[in-house]
Each structure stands twice: as C-alpha cells, then as structure tokens.
Chains A and B, each alone.
Chain A
Amino acid sequence: MFGDYSIGELGSIFVMQGFAGLILFSVYVLMALGLAIIFGQMGVINMAHGEFMILGAYVTWMTSNLFQSYLPGLFSGYFFLAMMLAFLASGALGMLVEWGLIRHLYKRPLDTLLATWGLSLILQQAYRSVFGAREVGVELPQWMLGSLKVTDSIEVPINGIFVMGLTVSITCAVAYVIYKSRWGRQVRAVVQNRIMAGAVGINTEKVDRYTFGLGCGIAGVAGSAFTMIGSTGPTSGQLYIVDTFLVVVFGGAASLLGTIASAFSISQTQSTLEFFTSGSMAKVLTLLAVVGILMLRPQGLFALKVRK
C-alpha cells in the first residue's frame, strides 16, 4: 500500500488528501450543524434536510445569474448576498414546514422521518419541474479560482480555503447563538425540560419554530457553499443525507463539539482511504467503521447527559 512512495511523497499525499478531506469536512459540518440543531435539540429527524440545502444552492445559482446579467460590476461580491438569501429562503421554508407539518408530529419521532421523506420527494420533483433535471454549476468570481502553492509538491485551491473559513465563522456564530445569547438559553431550556420551560414563560412553540428555521437556514448556507465545489442537481441533497445523519449520530446528538469532531474524523478517514483504495471501498470502510463504533458506543463520541 505505501511501498511505492517515498517518505516525502507520502507526506505530500497526506497533506493534499488531508486538505481535500478538510473541504469535505466543511460541507459535512455545515450540513450537520443544521441537522444537529434540529435532531439534537428537537428530536426531529429531518430527511428533507438535503433538499433545504439544495434550495440554498439553487438560490445561489439564481443570484449569480442575476448578477451576471444585470450587475456584472459587482459580480465578485455576489456570493455574500447569495449566502444571505439562501439562509433566508431555506429558513423561511423551514418555518413554514414546521408550522404545517412538524409541529403535529413532535410526539411521534419515527413518523417525522416518514413525513419529511415525503416532503423531500415533493421538493425534489418541484426542483426538477422548475430548474430542470440537469445539474447546474455556478460560475465562480475570478478571485476564487486558482490555487495557492505552498511548497513544490503541495497546492491548495482557494475556493476550498474560502469554504473552510466560512465554515469556521458559521460554526462560531452558531455556538455563540446557542450558548451565549438569550434565545439560545431558551432553546436549551426547552430541550432540557419542555414543561418547565413553558411554565416559566418561554413560548415553546415559537422557540421550536425558530430553531427549525435556523437549522434549515444553515442548511441553505451549506448549499450555498456547496455550489463552489460541486454542481447542483435535484437529487444532490439525497446523496449526503445519510452521511450527514451518521455524522450527527456519531458525534452524539445535541453536542456541537461532537458534531465537529465526528465530521472531522469521518471526512479525514474517507479522503485518506480514497487515495489508497477505490472511492467506493473508502466509503464502505468509513461507514463500516462508523457503524461498528456506534455499536460499541451507541451514545456517540460526546454524549450530553440529560435526565429522561
């Protein structure tokens, strides 16, 4: 396996594959953050999460097209506006879905899984009808193209660095909102004891709605970031949903740190293995390892102790 490469080459391979893994890690973290908020805090399994992400991706695509035709001078900065629009669109749809569908099913978590799967089918078909079945790609502004040469054998792409920076800042923002803000305190209070939280005057229904909206909104931002490293099709979201769920479950639901740690270990394992075996075997081995570890440690890497 390692025999054909010299030590120096192996080092470069690990750095480059490690960096490729870091980009995968960023997408996983962005998707898993929203899912961890929704699943960890509310116990709802949102199978349509990938479709919320794809909505963000399509919004980004539309914004970039708009800028290209009407505001070509500002094209280099379109991405920041697109990201905000993606957040708002996915968040608004999320709140609508919570109001129309999810709130009736809080007592039946397994049924939310089926209902949101139905929702994801409807959304997929809607995307196919509106945007067409073909995958669309976003044109990147000039400054995001190209790559940074670190040493002779190591190169890192700029859009990857940008996605990673974005991931770090969004993660920090979410951590701040959940752990420091007044609203985050309310969310955590509702998670720990819904009845008591209601008794001390927290509007639990409103907290639920905004939590779901926030989770979906972050998925939208993830979709926005996704456009920079891959093309978007109606079913792109479904490809990631199981991986993302495993990230959340592996990290331990309701633990932000666990989600990040598990996204990191899963993505790094996968991209490093990918170089040495085929892509499909890398995926199989990674998933098997995750399932195996989950069998030994069902509560995940970082478990939050909550009284039932």
Chain B
Amino acid sequence: MIITSRFFNRSELIGFVALALVLVVILPLSLDVFRLNLVAKYLTYAFVAIGLVLCWGYGGILSLGQGVFFGLGGYCMAMFLKLEASSVENTKIQSTPGIPDFMDWNQITALPLFWQPFHSLTFTVLAIILVPGLFALIIGTAMFKRRVGGTYFAIITQAVAAILTILIVGQQGYTGGINGMTDLRTLKGWDIRPDHAKIILYFFEVFLLFGCIFIAQFIRLTKLGRILVAMREQEDRVRFSGYSVANFKIFAFCMAAIFAAIGGAMFALNVGFMSPSFVGIVPSIEMVIYTAVGGRMSIFGAVWGALLVNFAKTGLSESFPQLWLFGLGALFIAVVLAFPNGLSGIWADYVQPRIDRLLALRKSKSGSPWAGNSVADGAPAE
C-alpha cells in the first residue's frame, strides 16, 4: 500500500466533507437547540471513539477503562466551573460561604488543597490534558513495560474504572459523590446555560473534534501509524526489528486517554454536570461499542458510530425502554460476529465499490478510460 502524499486520499476526502457538511451545516440548521445540545453530548463520545480507533483499531490495545479518562477530563473541567459557581455571593446561605455546596453538606469547612489550583482556567486546561495523560502514562508504563497485554490489560483497565467509580462515590465531600457536580453556571463570567451559548459551545466542540481527527489522521499516515499496525499484527517481529513495542503502545494509550479527556471536558461544558455514572465499567464498554459499530479502523466511522448508537439509544429508550437493552446486546453480538469492521467496513465492502464502478462507467462514457482503484478506507486484513 502506497502512502499517498496527500493528507486525505479521495475516499477519505469524501468522508471528511460529508462529516463536515452534516456537523457544521445540516445539523445546526435542521435541529432545535435542545436536540443540537444532545448532538453535542453524543459528539463528546466521538472524541473517545477516535482515541479508541488509534489505541484499539491500530494498536490492538483494547482498553475497557476509557471512562476513567473521560471522567478525569470532565471532573477537571467541572471543578473549575463549580468553583466559579460557588463564589462567596452565590453561596451566602451556606455555613461556610465560598466552597461548593456538596462540601458544605458534608461538613467540610475549607476548600481542600487539591481544589485550590482549579481557580485558574489556564491550570484547568493544562490539567484536562495532563492529568489523564500522566495517569495513562503510569498505567501504560507499568503494564506494557512488563509485557502485559491483550485480555489482561482489558481486565485491569476495567478494574481501574471500578476503583475510580467507587472512590468518587465514596469520597462525597470532595467529589460530590453519586450525584456528581451539578449546577455549573459560568465560564469566566460567560453564562454557559442559555441557547446561544449552547450553539457557540457546539461549534467550538466540532472545531476541537476536527482538530482531533486531523491529529489522528496525521498519526495514521506517518510511520508511527504503520508501526502500530505492524505491532497489532505481529508484535514479536516488530520487537525483533529493534522497535520498542512498549513505548509505541504507551504512546497510543496516552493519546487515546487525552482524546477521551477532551471529550469529557466538553461534556461538562455542554451538559452542565459531571457524575460518576460516566466513569464506570458500563459506560466504558459502551464507548468501545461506538468504535466497534463505526468501524475500529476508521476515524470517521468512529464519529458516525458514536452519533448513530446514541441516536438509536435515545430514540429506542424513549419509545421502547424494554427493547433498548435487547437491541444494544444484539448490536454487540452482530457487530462482533458479522461485521468486525463495523459501518466503515460495510461502506468499504459494499457501497464504495459500487460508487467507484459508477464513476468509472461515467468517465469511460465521456471518453477517458479510468478504472476506480481507490484504496479502501484502510480496511485491515483481519
């Protein structure tokens, strides 16, 4: 396979334009603000899904603890917003004004030390990237340097997700417990709750999402991406060729963690609260299914997967709450058994060849004999 000198090849360019059209033009024009805010919520999962494409699809590392990083990012953002919402004037009725309400309910009288730096937005933005990144670095180094991989890694990340959830729920005075951090109001004095703010936040999120897509696409196209794929297919050969397999795995895992954390931070901004129900084992596995449905090898597929599964979830659970779990379970099984490359695999196998044939037919009619030989969307040889 020749690496194209262009950033996107032809089919990827179509994918990019289609996604941009839908996210930037069609959805904002056709949906009301409430639904657009829902889309913004779904898109926060798309960040996680893109990270999983890099880490799982390309690197072959299945992490069942992405909720941990999503949560860490979200909680960092929520802590900043919560501090701003608990200014002394807003919290006059508390026994200790100036601290978040849940601390007051839990008889804490002073702001804990680790909350102090979250008064600063700069620190918060850095923390959103660095805290999950460093956490992933520690887990990744401990695991991959000792050649723990595959199923063991999946189970251990799952245990980490369980630990963090129990910890957040248990330490109510410091984290808000099971209810999480609610009632987030302003960002540097700018109210995040009214409709026009929701629209601005939506576009900001789409902008960030495309940033992440570009980073992921860049990683995919460089030698780094090739090594990740090689590692997934034949880890030993890559190791014997002199590459440090562990370092590449750590890198992929950290990137996935940072993407997830950005998603989490946007979640706190868009939805206006953060709670442990987005951290634990169940949401973490659901994040994996978005990637699996969209196609674990396709960056755009991951975004579509996150959007479609969540739309289906909202639609089904609104009208048939009984059926939703059956549907989700069946979706898991069907995707794994029949379509291991998800929607993008179906697209590359069935739709793309037809489009190519049609285009080729038209071109040959108009006189230029051109055969469609586009490379399918990075479809792997499983």
A residues at B contact (CB < 8 Å): 39, 43, 45, 101, 104-105, 108-111, 113-115, 117-122, 124-126, 129, 238, 242, 245-246, 249, 278, 280-281, 283-284, 287-288, 290-291, 294-295, 298
Contacts and interface: CB of A to CB of B under 8 A. Distances in A.
A295 B146 contact: yes
A115 B337 contact: yes
Contacts of B328: 118, 121
A20 B143 CA distance: 33
A125 B325 contact: yes
Given A104-B337, A295-B142, A249 B155 contact: yes
Nearest to B138: A295
Given A113-B62, A114-B292, A118-B329, A245 B155 contact: yes
A114 B159 contact: no
Interface residues of B, number: 41
Interface string B151-170: 11011101110110011011
Contacts of B159: 242, 245-246, 287, 290-291
Given A101-B337, A115-B336, A284 B142 contact: no
B167 A118 contact: no
Given A101-B337, A287-B159, A295-B146, A121 B166 contact: no
B333 A118 contact: yes
Given A101-B337, A129-B322, A242-B281, A284 B332 contact: no
Max chain B C-beta neighbours (<10 A), residue from A120, A283, A290, A295: A295
A308 to B, nearest CB: 10
Helix, strand, loop or mixed for chain A's interface?
Answer: helix
B78 interface: no
Contacts of B337: 101, 104-105, 115
A114 B152 CA distance: 14
A283 B165 CA distance: 11
A124 B332 CA distance: 14
A37 B220 CA distance: 39
A111 B325 CA distance: 19
B166 A284 contact: yes
Interface in B266-309: 281-282, 285, 288-289, 292
Contacts of B223: none
B62 A110 contact: yes
A101 B154 contact: no
A122 B330 CA distance: 7
A299 B68 CA distance: 24
Given A291-B163, A295-B146, A105 B336 contact: yes
A242 B67 CA distance: 15
B114 interface: no
Given A114-B288, A288-B163, A298-B147, A125 B154 contact: no
A281 B146 CA distance: 28
